[in-house]
């Protein structure tokens, strides 16, 4: 898909926000529609480049197969972890009902 | 008892003063706490200080020294950007969504500094989750430039830079993903070092963009930055992206001379549209490096114009993934919602995250989404390869590069808030180092007529920190000798 030549399709901000689990009110949606549209228009210029045969780089200094011995280590103290929790019960994180 | 201008003390001076008993860690820490009490209200560099805890740490260090303990940084107080985990201290990342969160462990960089005897006496303000270039995107108010209160301190490590430049800290830690150490250091008039990717462990650094983030020092001098880097650097089993490369004695690079060094000037970093006083200050610094014996060569980094676009695609994409964990389930803020977990996530994140963070999460989610991944994210990773190759080629012809840090001095407060793209474009000279994984240093090289600091950036190849330290230190010593 050549991005540089196509006009930027209207980003469906509400749809993307839903993917990102972010509730946006109408005003924020409109603001982001405009601002992110401008930003995407700008970043589309990378479509100009001929990238045939270029490998992607995901890290500046790649390392491979960084393993450690499969040895048990002590984890975090549960009490301290749960002290940060918004809601807890019986040594577990309490959340809204997931399954009806 | 001599009166020390504790706020202007370097870490090296503090270390020797403490060692020879000229002052105690308690006295030093007390002086910094007093400076914070006097000045932080106007600057808002610090978001958290616990005076009793700080003095207790200092007393413990003094006591340890008396029983024969030593450590490269024993008794030296440091300010820490609120994005790094320090066991038992809050960690808000400048966000409402982590208000009330207490760290459960030390980041590796912190643990290494602690093992060397350092004290952690305050947490500094930042752009929320390190996203921003002005420290105006904090949920805890903006940080003002200590040199000029109408101007920003830069970002995202604005609090750390303002603390050091404002005489409230001897040194501070920051993090740099697209320039967030180097730019605030430049705007505030202090030194900032971004190590090469993989040089310093990111374990315990709250992640913004995992392939770009690095922790680094913000200090009064290059020698101090070298000292702190030496303590923090090295492979860490807790961070698989750290390289198994030995940590050299960075102090050995403090030779003060540049004879025989070839310094490259990338033509794409000296273009139209730069603030004329930035150009003057940086050209002046280049001229001095010449006089110090360096050979100047012109080089080219042809893909520079695509760097900001590449950076914002990759950083936003990685951020959208890294910030998915902030959902109100296990820690931090949870919206009071009487509904499903998904509704809870939606409201928690909508209420807990600020505008800039939300904007980048949406941008990042978009460029990773079905139908757009190849066009944006994958392409950006390929452009990243080209940017890295540009640097490889340039470093085959010179030892280090000299560039401005930013096209302008510090912005006025509020100047960039309505125009995010305008703010992003200011990162043009700094994002390239993160994309390529190389190291960079900002060292003060002058001021505008209005008194705003300007920084010189020294870029070195990956794991070439000795080179940038050597250049920065030599320039800085010469600058101080000439009373610039």
Q: How far is A79 from chain B (nearest CA, A)?
A: 10
Lowest mean pLDDT segment, chosen from A51-55, B329-333, B420-424: B420-424
- Is the CB of residue B450 less than 8 Å away from at least one CB of chain A? no
| pLDDT, chain B, mean | 96
Chain B's closest residue to A56, CA to CA, is: B382
Lowest mean pLDDT segment, chosen from A94-98, B147-151, B262-266, B299-303: A94-98
Three-point CA angle B163, B224, B458, nearest 5° = 90
Query: Would the CB atoms of A23 and B350 count as touching at under 8 Å?
Result: yes
Query: Would the CB atoms of B375 and A1 count as touching at under 8 Å?
Result: yes
Distance CA B27, CA B449 (A): 37
Burial label for A53, CB within 10 Å (0-12, 13-18, 19+), is exposed
Tokens of B171: 């040194």
**Among candidate residues B21, B479, B115, the one with its CA nearest the CA of residue B288:** B479
Distance CA B196, CA B216 (A): 10
> Which of B382, B418, B436, B437 to mutate: most A Cβ within 10 Å?
B382
Question: Would you place residue B484 in the very low, low, confident or very high pLDDT band (cuts 50, 70, 90)?
Answer: low
Tokens of B158: 């604005």
B230-244 average pLDDT score = 97
A83 contacts on B by Cβ (under 8 Å): 102
The pLDDT value given to residue B418:
85
- Counting as low any pLDDT under 70, the low residues of chain A are 1-9
The pLDDT value given to residue B229:
98
Q: Could you give the residue numbers annotated as active site of B?
A: 81, 156, 180
Say if residue B465's pLDDT is above 60: yes
B 139-178 residues with CB < 8 A to A: none
| pLDDT, chain A, mean | 89
Residue matched to tokens 């139209």: B272
The pLDDT value given to residue A5:
42
Query: Would the CB atoms of A57 and B381 count as touching at under 8 Å?
Result: yes
Query: Would the CB atoms of B365 and A19 count as touching at under 8 Å?
Result: yes
Chain A's closest residue to B349, CA to CA, is: A22
Q: How many CB atoms lie within 10 A of CB B86?
A: 23
For chain B, percent of residues with pLDDT exceeding 90: 94
For residues B283 and B277, is the Cβ–Cβ distance under 8 A? no
Distance CA B163, CA B140 (A): 16
- A-B C-beta contacts closer than 8 Å: 185
Q: Where would I find the H helices in B353-438?
A: 355-368, 379-395, 420-425, 431-436
The pLDDT value given to residue A9:
64
For chain B, percent of residues with pLDDT exceeding 70: 99
Q: How far is B241 from chain A (nearest CA, A)?
A: 6
The pLDDT value given to residue A2:
44
For residues A2 and A47, is the Cβ–Cβ distance under 8 A? yes
B 297-326 residues with CB < 8 A to A: 303, 305-306, 308-310, 312-313, 320, 324
Fold of the domain built from segment(s) B1-301+382-421+429-484: Amidase signature (AS) enzymes (3.90.1300)
Say if residue B419's pLDDT is above 90: no
B186-197 average pLDDT score = 98
Q: Which of B339, B385, B434 sits opposite A55 (nearest CB)?
A: B385
Domain ranges of chain B: 1-301+382-421+429-484, 309-374
Query: Would the CB atoms of A86 and B105 count as touching at under 8 Å?
Result: no
For residues A32 and A24, is the Cβ–Cβ distance under 8 A? yes
The pLDDT value given to residue B482:
85
Q: Which of A22, A39, A95 sits opposite B361 (nearest CB)?
A: A22
Distance CA B164, CA B414 (A): 23
Q: How far is A41 from chain B (nearest CA, A)?
A: 10
B 382-411 residues with CB < 8 A to A: 382-386, 388
Lowest mean pLDDT segment, chosen from A9-23, B51-65, B399-413: A9-23
Q: What is the pLDDT of residues B440-453, one digit of tens each?
A: 999 999 999 999 99
């Amino acid at each position: 898909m050549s991005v540089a030549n196509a006009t930027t399709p209207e980003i469906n901000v509400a749809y993307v926000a839903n993917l990102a689990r972010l509730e946006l009110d109408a005003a924020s949606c409109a603001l982001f529609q405009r601002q992110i549209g401008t930003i995407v228009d700008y970043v589309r210029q990378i479509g100009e480049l001929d990238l045939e045969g270029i490998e992607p780089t995901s890290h500046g200094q790649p390392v491979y197969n960084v393993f450690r011995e499969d040895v048990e280590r002590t984890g975090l103290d549960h009490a301290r972890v749960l002290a940060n929790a918004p809601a807890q019960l019986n040594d577990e994180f309490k959340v809204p009902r997931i399954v009806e | 008892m001599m009166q020390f201008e504790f706020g202007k003390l370097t870490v090296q001076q503090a270390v020797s003063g403490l060692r020879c008993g000229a002052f105690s860690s308690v006295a030093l820490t007390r002086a910094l706490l007093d400076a914070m009490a006097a000045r932080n209200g106007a600057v808002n560099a610090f978001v958290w200080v616990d005076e009793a805890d700080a003095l207790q740490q200092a007393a413990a260090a003094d006591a340890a020294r008396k029983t024969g303990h030593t450590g490269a940084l024993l008794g030296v107080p440091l300010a820490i950007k609120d994005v790094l985990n320090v066991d038992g201290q809050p960690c808000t990342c400048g966000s409402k969504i982590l208000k009330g969160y207490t760290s459960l462990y030390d980041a590796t960089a912190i643990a290494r500094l602690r093992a060397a005897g350092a004290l952690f006496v305050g947490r500094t303000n930042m752009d929320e989750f390190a996203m921003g270039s002005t420290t105006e995107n904090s949920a805890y108010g903006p940080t003002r430039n200590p040199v000029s209160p109408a101007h920003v301190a830069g970002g995202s490590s604005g609090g750390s830079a303002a603390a050091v430049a404002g005489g409230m800290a001897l040194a501070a830690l920051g993090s740099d993903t697209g320039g967030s150490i180097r730019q605030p250091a430049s705007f505030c008039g202090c030194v900032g070092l971004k190590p090469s990717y993989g040089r310093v462990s990111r374990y315990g650094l709250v992640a913004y963009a995992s392939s770009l983030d690095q922790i680094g020092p913000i200090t009064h001098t290059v020698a101090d930055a070298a000292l702190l880097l030496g303590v923090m650097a090295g492979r860490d089993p807790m961070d698989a992206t750290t390289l198994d490369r030995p940590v050299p004695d960075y102090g050995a690079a403090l030779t003060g001379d540049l004879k025989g060094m070839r310094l490259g000037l990338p033509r794409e970093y000296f273009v139209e549209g730069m603030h004329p006083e930035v150009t003057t200050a940086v050209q002046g610094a280049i001229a001095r490096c010449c006089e110090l014996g360096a050979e100047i060569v012109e080089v080219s980094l042809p893909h520079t114009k695509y760097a900001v676009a590449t950076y914002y695609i990759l950083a936003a994409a990685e951020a959208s993934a890294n910030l998915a964990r902030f959902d109100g389930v296990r820690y931090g803020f949870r919206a009071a919602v009487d509904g499903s977990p998904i509704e809870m996530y939606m409201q928690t994140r909508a209420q807990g995250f600020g505008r800039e963070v939300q904007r980048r999460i949406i941008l990042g989610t978009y460029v990773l989404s079905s139908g757009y991944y190849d066009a944006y994210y994958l392409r950006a990773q390929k452009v990243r390869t080209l940017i890295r190759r540009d640097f490889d080629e340039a470093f085959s012809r010179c030892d280090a590069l000299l560039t401005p840090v930013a096209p302008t001095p510090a912005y006025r407060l509020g100047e960039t808030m309505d125009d995010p793209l305008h703010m992003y474009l200011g990162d043009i000279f700094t994002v390239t180092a993160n994309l390529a994984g190389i190291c960079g240093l900002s060292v003060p090289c002058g001021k505008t007529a209005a008194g705003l600091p300007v920084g010189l950036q020294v870029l070195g190849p990956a794991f070439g920190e000795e080179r940038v330290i050597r250049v920065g230190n030599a320039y800085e010593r010469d600058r101080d000798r000439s009373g610039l």
